[in-house]
Copies of this chain bind each other. A is one copy, B any other.
Amino acid sequence: MEGGHGGRERRREKGWEGGGVWRGRLRDKRREAPGFPVACRAMPGGMEERYSKAETLALRRKHIGPSCKVFFAKDPLKIVRAQGQYMFDETGEKYLDCINNVAHVGHSHPYVTKAAAKQMELLNTNSRFLHDNLVQYAQRLTATLPEKLSVCYFVNSGSEANDLALRLARQYHGHQDVITLENAYHGHVTSLIDISPYKFNQLGKDSKKEFVHVAPSPDIYRGKYREDHPDPASAYAEEVKKIIEETQKNGRKIAAFIAESMQSCGGQVIPPVGYFQKVAEYVRAVGGVFIADEVQVGFGRVGKHFWAFQLQGEDFVPDIVTMGKPIGNGHPMSCVVTTREIAEKFGASGLEYFNTFGGNPVSCAIGLAVLEVIEKEDLQGNATRVGSYLLELLVEQKKKHPLVGDIRGIGLFVGVDLVKDQQKRTPATAEALHLIYKLKEQKILLSADGPYRNILKFKPPMCFTVEDAKHVVETIDVLLTEIEEATGMKTGNDAPTNAQCKIKANEGSPQPESANESTSHLNGAACRQENGFYPEKHSVPSKTIRT
Contacts and interface: CB of A to CB of B under 8 A. Distances in A.
Interface residues of A, number: 163
A44 interface: no
A2 interface: yes
Contact of A10 (B76, B142, B381, B463): B381
Contact of A140 (B33, B188, B331, B382): B33
Given A129-B77, A130-B56, A120 B123 contact: no
A184 interface: no
Interface stretch (A82-90, A222-230, A430-438, A494-502): A82-90
Contacts of A77: 129-130
B3 A65 contact: no
Contacts of A368: 34
Given A79-B125, A202-B350, A160 B189 contact: yes
B153 A65 contact: yes
Interface string A325-359: 10001111100001000011011011111111111
B156 A157 contact: yes
A66 B344 contact: yes
Interface stretch (A276-284, A286-294, A372-380, A448-456): A372-380
A53 B3 contact: no
Given A3-B463, A81-B123, A84-B2, A65 B347 contact: yes
Given A129-B78, A146-B21, A371-B34, A67 B3 contact: no
B330 A357 contact: yes
A189 to B, nearest CB: 5
B63 A138 contact: yes
A530 interface: yes
Given A332-B357, A343-B66, A357-B157, A375 B35 contact: yes
Given A81-B122, A87-B125, A463-B2, A69 B533 contact: no
A50 interface: yes
A545 interface: no
A483 B535 CA distance: 68
Contacts of A378: 4, 7-8, 11
Interface in A109-155: 109-110, 112-113, 116-117, 120-132, 134-136, 138-140, 142-147, 150-153
A16 B328 CA distance: 24
A3 B411 CA distance: 13
A202 B325 contact: no
Contacts of A151: 63-65
A1 B461 CA distance: 10
A190 interface: yes
What number of copies of this chain does the assembly contain?
2
A312 interface: no
Interface string A24-51: 0110011011110000000000010111
A486 interface: no
A117 B366 CA distance: 12
A63 to B, nearest CB: 4
A108 B124 contact: yes
Contact of A202 (B30, B125, B351): B351
B356 A324 contact: yes
B127 A108 contact: no
B3 A386 contact: yes
A203 interface: yes
A122 B90 CA distance: 12
Contact of A354 (B76, B379, B530): B530
29 contacts: A2-B463, A3-B465, A4-B378, A7-B377, A10-B511, A26-B144, A29-B142, A35-B372, A51-B136, A53-B130, A56-B132, A59-B139, A63-B142, A64-B359, A65-B343, A67-B353, A70-B129, A70-B130, A77-B130, A102-B356, A103-B125, A107-B123, A113-B120, A124-B329, A128-B531, A156-B160, A159-B355, A160-B188, A166-B190
8 closest cross-chain pairs (CB), A and B: A7-B378, A1-B84, A29-B143, A63-B138, A59-B135, A66-B347, A7-B381, A124-B330
